[in-house]
Copies of this chain bind each other. A is one copy, B any other.
Amino acid sequence: MTLSGRLADGAEFDAIRAIVDGARASDAAVGPGDDAAVLADGTVVSTDVAVEGVHFRAEWIGDAAAGERAVRAALSDLAAMGAHPVAVFASLSGPDRERLVRAGIGVRQGGEAFGASLLGGDLARADGPLTIGVTVLGVLDGRRPWRRSSARPGDVLWVTGDLGAAAAAVATWSSDGVPSDALRDRFARPAPRFAAIDALRTHLDPRAAIDLSDGLAADARHLAAASGVEVVIEAERVPVAPAAVAARSPDDALRLALEGGEDYELLLAAAPSDVGEGADGGEDAVRATSGVPLTRVGRVGEGRGAFLLAADGTRQPLDGGFAHWGAS
């Protein structure tokens, strides 16, 4: 994500607002407040930082895997703009040079897996946790970026892939368990959805998108706040990861899908005229041409905020998720 002046709730966002308040106008096409910035020349840029003990633990995944995970997460912000990746830059700090090297190799290889070369960076000794900063650059090739702020009442909401597996891995580690290889892999190697971009443009023509880093609940709030709309997610339509259901109870897996975050799937808003309400054509065509599953999860309405609609028709505010700066 990028620093943003128009964001949902949360202490981190208060801090970000304090930084960007009073910023001079820039000639960027998309400035602070979206998954990534878009420069006037169409270059798309995003920066993420992953801190040991906050975003990952050395006893969960090794240093190289932590580096690979950090760059995959950062690249996901480019996918959320509909951009394809070009280059990666890494800032690594920590007390142990060998660990920085392993993390740096992970960043390099993680970027290369998606066609993005590691072109620069910096290393620094620090008496603190291993800290992996990643800046990624991408290109739109003349296409329109998918902004957070462009969802409109009446749009249909879609989610790629399935949700909750990464959080189920974290929940298993946090209760001193050992997640299955499948769960661990979903945490360690999230897949930025570049493979689906061209199919999505062709068959869905999304108006708005956000990547699900903070969890469907929190990111639905971000989308609603940025677009000035109401987002309604239908509980029964949320694509909960089968591996999360197998490892946890169904209710817990749904909660993890909503609040756990770290899935790095895409939440997309598209006008219903493009695919039709409940049409099977859009998602089938996207899956057929890209291999990426697509699920209709809700609608955009007039109003403000994000809500979960239960099967019995009751609705409740979508809260929870995004605990990195939480009270704990």
Contacts and interface: CB of A to CB of B under 8 A. Distances in A.
Interface of A: 1-3, 11-12, 15-16, 18-20, 23-24, 26, 28, 31-32, 36-37, 39, 41, 43, 45-51, 53-55, 86-87, 89-93, 97, 100-101, 104-105, 107-108, 112, 117-129, 131, 133, 135, 137, 324-325
Most buried by B among A12, A107, A126, A127: A126
Given A2-B119, A119-B32, A43 B137 contact: yes
Contacts of A120: 1-3, 32, 36-37, 45-47
Given A89-B45, A101-B15, A108-B19, A51 B119 contact: no
A51 B137 CA distance: 24
Contact of A124 (B11, B124, B324): B324
Could you say how many copies of this chain the assembly holds? 2
A87 B16 contact: no
A105 B19 CA distance: 5
A31 B129 CA distance: 29
B3 A125 contact: no
Nearest to A130: B128
Contact of A131 (B37, B112, B118, B128): B128
Contacts of A48: 91, 122
A222 to B, nearest CB: 14
Most buried by B among A3, A119, A121: A119
Given A28-B119, A49-B133, A118-B32, A89 B37 contact: yes
